[in-house]
Amino acid sequence: MYKDIATPARTRAILDKYGFSFKKSLGQNFLIDTNILRNIVDHAQLTEESGAIEVGPGIGALTEQLAKRSKKVVAYEIDQRLLPILKETLEPYPHAKIIHQDILKANVKEMLDTEFSDIRDVMLVANLPYYVTTPIIMKILEEKLPLRGIVVMLQKEVAERISAKPGTKEYGSLSIAIQYYTKPEVVMIVPKTVFVPQPNVDSAVIRLTIRETPSVVVINEDFFFQVTRASFAQRRKTILNNLSSQLERGKEKKADIIEALNQANIEPSRRGESLSIEEFAKLSDALYEKFS
């Protein structure tokens, strides 16, 4: 049997062998706890017929666990210095493929068509670099890729914002954007002590189950997201003030905004954080007719 990559001793030996130094700009924090990695993979509920996409495999600690449980793994790695390391650590797993590319610039749909053409069940599973967590998740969701879901480790605070309910201080436009496409669930809290180097904050693993249809039906998706972002621009302001100041032509259309709020049965004095996703859907449809 091959030794697990994610032990402190093996991680150190691999890093020393290649003289690898961590780049803060790439948000590199490697996990050194095999049990936690196995737990993450458990939450993805993979079978021998599943495929897995990974982002930022590092030295291959999570990739290895994914390869043990799935038919194929494709991992995107941006740091060229890690390619020879991954070639060595993943040698026992010929069904794990590394693509040297920034996932934010990648054509993931095309990759799915070629690499996973015979696989129906695909999950994105990753320990995401903190600085690009939200753009990566939003890219995957907005492109409406044929995935069953996403299981990612990210900053605990971001996980709380993604899964937040209306009326809480964590709830905002990010909560709405991700809950529009998925059902989020925080499945694990991960202490900072199981990484090298140690990050400053604890992490959480969140599972996002992709909905077959969005949680609400709206006339125009882009406009719906514009309205939600505008509504949280300044949290202390009322929804009326935020929409008037943030929407294009909002100031001149203040009367229309008040009318749309009334149509949607929303008091103009409420704050964005008090509105449910269903209320935002009604409001955005009422506003769309006045702004289009």
Query: How confident is the model over 188-241, as pLDDT tens digits?
Result: 999 999 988 888 889 999 999 999 999 999 999 999 999 999 999 998 999 999
Q: Is the pLDDT of residue 139 over 70?
A: yes
Q: pLDDT value at position 130?
A: 82
Query: How confident is the model over 92-133, as pLDDT tens digits?
Result: 999 999 999 999 999 999 999 999 999 999 999 999 888 899
Predicted TM-score of the model (pTM): 0.94
Q: Which domains does the chain possess?
A: 8-210 (3.40.50.150), 221-291 (1.10.8.100)
| Residues contributing to the annotated binding site for S-adenosyl-L-methionine | 29, 31, 56, 77, 102, 127
Question: Integer distance in angstroms from the first to the last C-alpha of the chain?
Answer: 63
Reported as a pLDDT band with limits 50, 70 and 90, residue 167 is: very high
Q: Is the pLDDT of residue 168 over 90?
A: yes
- The stretch 16-26 carries a mean pLDDT of 84
Assess contact for 211 and 178: CB atoms under 8 A. no
Q: What are phi and psi of 115, to 5 degrees?
A: -80, -30
Reported as a pLDDT band with limits 50, 70 and 90, residue 2 is: low
CB count in 10 Å sphere of residue 36: 23
| Residues contributing to the annotated binding site | 29, 31, 56, 77, 102, 127
Reported as a pLDDT band with limits 50, 70 and 90, residue 3 is: confident
Assess contact for 51 and 116: CB atoms under 8 A. yes
| DSSP tag of 21 | -
- The stretch 150-165 carries a mean pLDDT of 96
**Alpha-carbon torsion (61, 85, 70, 53), positive or negative:** positive
Reported as a pLDDT band with limits 50, 70 and 90, residue 29 is: confident
